[in-house]
Amino acid sequence: MVRATSARPSATAPSRKATMSSTERTGSDAPAGEASRGRRLAESAARVIPGGVNSATRYIGEPYAFVSADGAYVTDADGRRYLDYHAAFGAMVLGHNAPVVNDAVRAAVDGPGLIGLGVSELEVELARRVVEVIPSAESAISTMSGTEATFQAVRLARAVTGRPYIVKFQGGFHGSHDAVARNVISAPERAYGRDPLSKGILDPALDATLIAEFNDLASVRTLLDRHPGQVAAVIMEPIPHNVGALVPTQEFVEGLRALTAETGTVLIFDEVITGFRHALGGYQEVCGVTPDLTTFGKGMANGVPIGGLAGRRDLMEHFNHTGGDVLLAGTFNGSPISSAAAIATIDHLRANPDFYERTHALGQRMRDGLSAIVADLGIDATAAGFGGVFALYFAKGPIRGYRDLMRNDNSAYVAFHRRMTEAGYLMLPMALKRNHISGAHTAEEIDATLSAAADVLAGMRKDGIVGG
């Protein structure tokens, strides 16, 4: 069997075609007619884990399971190697198994470990770094996930304002807790209406979350006017990467800051994805707009579980166990291992100021290349993104908000990611999911990816999946 990306692709290497034989897809380790090792592992998982995965979006079919990762590459259970653009939903900023992070984790493992009382030096050092690099941060807390961070942010905003409602944007994802688990990738008939992500959420929790349109300040003002003095917070991904990459206009973010200040509404930037990926201080550093609260996680520790919340000291003091009125609790908050990984990641980024210049340039190289390919093939598609994040929407631009995304051909989007994965370039085959370039990617690998994308898109055009 010829394995997908059995060697590191280069700009001069011929690209893999978008289709594989059935033998290649089932893997070489299994005899004819027998399921691949990955499929067998997935079937075993389904017997002890509901659906066989521990998070709803992890099941993609083939490849079913992965066994190793290094730098910009991952290897599946059947020995196939992929250039990774999924990057664990963006958590891998430096690349897989970054030595600087691994060394810090090993040292933390050999340290005092989790005590669960008092405070550790690593917790203090991490909080200091967060306050130093994030513009909005005067005080910070640690959590173990982005969902926990946004949960704390919403609860805090309601506590300090005494107001019931929050505003989120159609297409934004802020975790799985009840207050925000609605209206992400909604079908056109459900967009902007009631579209919960799960059963089991009480109606009052859903109804207390109002839905606005991204890059449309008037839609936010309408909701604030409709509920005067009743909106506790506006929460937003500065770039809604959970639907690809909707880049905000400067007028929008500045207007949102002014509007929330005018109405006494807490402005929350959910930088769980954008934080530490686009700039050390997050997207707020890029746009120069400072929110009241900021959530973060994912790339902050380069794949080690962590999350957190930072913001104005007067707001954060509500978590103070002496005199505060908002509960902060969690056995693993401030975990020494997570803190050590985050410190190592932040210190590496601070010591390498060209990191962002380089990853931004690679991202632009990818977007420009994709734009040229679809233009040459006459395909109605728009390359979008920011920094090292890119997406190829199968719709004509411009694409500014979710209403524009409803023109996207979701079937073509999934087909492109599926065929790229089959060619050895791992892209999550789900509609509107973004792709990430890490510090481990090279210009040669971007060029090899573009060569493969040209073959894949030409094949999709030939097969009638896309057209002009």
Tell whether the model's pLDDT for residue 12 goes beyond 70: no
Q: How far is CA 404 from the centre of its chain?
A: 20
Say yes or no to pLDDT of 24 above 50: no
8-state DSSP, 96 = B
Which residue carries 């805090």 as its tokens?
Answer: 156
* Sequence-ordered list of residues with C-beta below 8 angstroms from that of 374, at least 6 positions apart, any chain: 380, 381, 383, 392, 457
pTM: 0.92
* Cβ burial, residue 42 (10 Å; 0-12/13-18/19+): buried
Query: At how many degrees (to 10) do helices 336-351 and 99-109 cross?
Result: 150
140: burial class by Cβ within 10 Å (0-12, 13-18, 19+)?
buried
What band does 18 get if pLDDT is binned at 50, 70 and 90? very low
| Averaged pLDDT, 408-424 | 98
Q: Give the CA dihedral 146, 149, 154, 158, nearest 10 degrees.
A: 170
Is residue 29 scored above 80 in pLDDT?
A: no
- For domain 99-351, the question of CATH label 3.40.640.10 is answered with yes
- Copy the structure tokens of residue 152: 């704390």
Residues of the chain with CATH 3.90.1150.10: 22-84+354-462
Q: Is the pLDDT of residue 468 over 90?
A: no
pLDDT at 210: 98
List where CATH 3.40.640.10 sits in the chain: 99-351
For residue 318, pLDDT over 60 is answered with yes
Mean pLDDT of 263-279: 98
Distance CA 277, CA 373 (A): 27
Check pLDDT > 50 for residue 405.
yes
H/E run at residue 233: strand 231-236
Rounded to an integer, what distance in angstroms lies between the CA atom of residue 52 and that of residue 100?
A: 33
pLDDT (0 to 100) of residue 467: 86
Q: Does the pLDDT at position 25 exceed 70?
A: no
Q: What is the pLDDT of residues 228-261, one digit of tens each?
A: 999 999 999 999 999 999 999 999 999 999 999 9
Determine if the peptide bond prior to 336 is cis (ω within 30°). Answer: no
pLDDT for residue 353: 87
When pLDDT is cut at 50, 70 and 90, the band that residue 17 belongs to is very low
In this structure, what is the dihedral angle of CA atoms 146, 151, 153, 157, given to the nearest 10 degrees? 160
pLDDT averaged over every residue in the chain = 93
> DSSP secondary structure string, 317-343?
GGG-TTT--S----TTTT-HHHHHHHH
pLDDT at 21: 35
pLDDT at 168 > cutoff 70: yes
Fold that domain 22-84+354-462 belongs to in CATH: Aspartate Aminotransferase, domain 1 (3.90.1150)
Give per-residue pLDDT as tens, 59-82: 999 999 999 999 999 999 999 999
Residue 305 has pLDDT above 70, yes or no: yes
Determine contact, residues 248/278, Cβ cutoff 8 Å. no
Higher pLDDT, 8 or 360: 360
Report whether pLDDT(7) > 80.
no
Please report the pLDDT score of residue 30 as a whole number: 53
Q: Residue 33: what pLDDT?
A: 55
Choose the weakest-confidence range: 81-85, 110-114, 377-381, 428-432: 110-114
Average pLDDT, integer, range 111-115: 91
367 with 152: CB under 8 angstroms?
no
